[in-house]
Amino acid sequence: MGEKENGRERKRSIMKLTVLGGGGVRSPFLTKSIALGAEAAGITEVVLMDNNAEKLHKYGKIAKLVGERCNPALHFILTTDAEEALRDADYIITTIRGDADEGRVFDERTALSHGVLGQETTGAGGFAMALRSIPILTGYCELARRVAKPNVLIFNFTNPSGLVTQALRTQGYDMVYGVCDAPSGFHKQLAALLGVERERFTMRCWGLNHLSWFDSFRVDGEDVTGKILAAPRLYQATEMKHFDPELVRLSGNLLPNEYLYFYYYSNRAVQSILSSSKTRGETILEINQKMHRALDEIDIDRDLEAAFHCFMLHYAMRENSYFTIETGGAPKNIDVPTVEEFIRQPDGGGYAGVALDFIKARATGEKIQMVLSVPNNGACPYFADGDVMELTCEIDGEGAHPLPVPEIPPMQLNLIRTIKLYENLTVEAILEKSYEKAVKALTIHPLINSYPIAKSLVDTYKERYKGYIGELS
């Protein structure tokens, strides 16, 4: 009887976090963040689930072994069984890619053939990715509703994150929060620029995912906007290197999310990609294929060091080319650490860090601020309560509370309203299987802004992804 009671007590004490897409190439970074933050968040078990068994037993296995090195007390499980992975889950992180890298290549080349940008989270590329991401995540959310814990929280990192979160919230999956590591990354850059600890520096984010602005910069409560704008390295050492100072002044000295480059420099981005021998998707596909083949020659269980070196070598290739094809900028220079060096390096947190901070705040009631994609709920009077927006939120034991944004300048408001209309039309098109709303969505998007192009893009993408969305009519 005592053993049974102990068994029941052990089962009750398990706090389970499931990663959907646990065989992704960023999984080792994800598990490091989770492993290092698990104790503070109360996490005892991590399940890496992926429907691609080959990737799961390469990247998922590397991630599991790295996670175990970081935190031997944490229990890791690999599985291709979604129901097993989601059963009794307390928390879920989604990071999936429907149609894999090949879909990204198709989306980009299709858009470029029409003379428009194919970047996978904005415009035509983001629309195409939504066609396959939303149906997949809807299925997982419905399964989670049936088999996960009743109060399960889902942190969606699947792109286009804000649009996907809008679709899931529209269907009543109120446990879903959109997560992106771009705002937190920019926060760290600006704190470093000022030479202060991250915890002392605060700023406010508002807009949509990959279409947001930052203001209210403070250190220990003191306004430091002037110091940031006057910092000589602002346009060299941060994401602001992609923008002209004159544009920032035109924008009312609001600092833009780096993805606004694709809106304010769209022609330059398209020309830069066309002049390159490969798109970003083609570059990623080629690097990943080389990595897959190289890992085939390594026994990961017996030689984690060799497997990790292979993984990091190719990861560095991917990261070194980030934003360079689209901007024509110089590549980054990322070192390749050993496993132990990687574990000892300060954890960047990433989207897993955002999720863990949320979990810790909800568990302890300690108030913190973070950027999430959440329903507006009156924070911005220009938008409906149900409109999912990317906002700085205060997190406490009751959940996420977006900070108010009472005024938005006309320049930013016009663009946000247009893209929010595009997002809502895209969600309606997918959920209602409406061809007309799909064409309308792309027609009004400023990166397309053409009915014939929009119609041709929808015709091409709906044929490619009808296995995900069914027939649009």
pLDDT at 332: 65
Establish how many alpha carbons lie within 13 A of residue 403's alpha carbon, considering only the half-sphere containing its beta carbon. Answer: 20
Query: Which residue matches tokens 């959440």?
Result: 374
Q: Residues with Cβ < 8 Å from 111, sequence gap 6 or more?
A: 117, 118, 123, 124, 125, 128, 457
Question: Which among 131, 138, 14 is positioned nearest to 77, based on CA atoms?
Answer: 14
pLDDT at 331: 64
φ, ψ at 371 (rounded to 5°): -95, 125
Write down the pTM of the prediction: 0.94
Question: Which among 50, 22, 58, 160 is positioned nearest to 104, based on CA atoms?
Answer: 160
Cα separation, 387 vs 379, in Å, equals 10
Output the tens digit of pLDDT for each of the chain's 473 residues.
Answer: 444 434 444 444 789 999 999 999 999 999 999 999 999 899 999 999 999 999 999 999 999 999 999 999 999 999 999 999 999 999 999 999 999 999 999 999 999 999 999 999 999 999 999 999 999 999 999 999 999 999 999 999 999 999 999 999 999 999 999 999 899 999 999 999 999 999 999 999 999 999 999 999 999 999 999 999 999 899 999 999 999 999 999 999 999 999 999 999 999 999 999 998 889 999 999 999 999 999 999 999 999 999 999 999 999 888 877 777 877 776 666 778 999 999 999 877 677 888 898 998 888 888 899 999 999 999 999 999 999 999 999 998 888 999 999 999 999 999 999 999 999 999 999 999 999 999 999 999 999 999 999 999 999 999 999 999 999 99
First to last CA, the chain: 61
Q: Residues with Cβ < 8 Å from 308, sequence gap 6 or more?
A: 28, 62, 66, 338, 339, 342
pLDDT at 128: 98
Query: Which residue matches tokens 């399960």?
Result: 152
Q: What six digits make up the tokens of 288?
A: 């990943």
- The angle, 0 to 180 degrees and rounded to 10, between the axes of the packed helices 161-170 and 123-147 is 40
Question: Which among 39, 450, 403 is positioned nearest to 212, based on CA atoms?
Answer: 403
Cα separation, 32 vs 69, in Å, equals 9
CB atoms under 10 Å from CB of 193, counted, come to 19
pLDDT at 252: 97
Structural fold of domain 13-179: Rossmann fold (3.40.50)
Is residue 248 within 8 A of residue 255, CB to CB? The reply is yes
3-state secondary structure (DSSP) of residue 368? strand
The domain ranges of the chain are 13-179
- The angle, 0 to 180 degrees and rounded to 10, between the axes of the packed helices 123-147 and 435-444 is 130
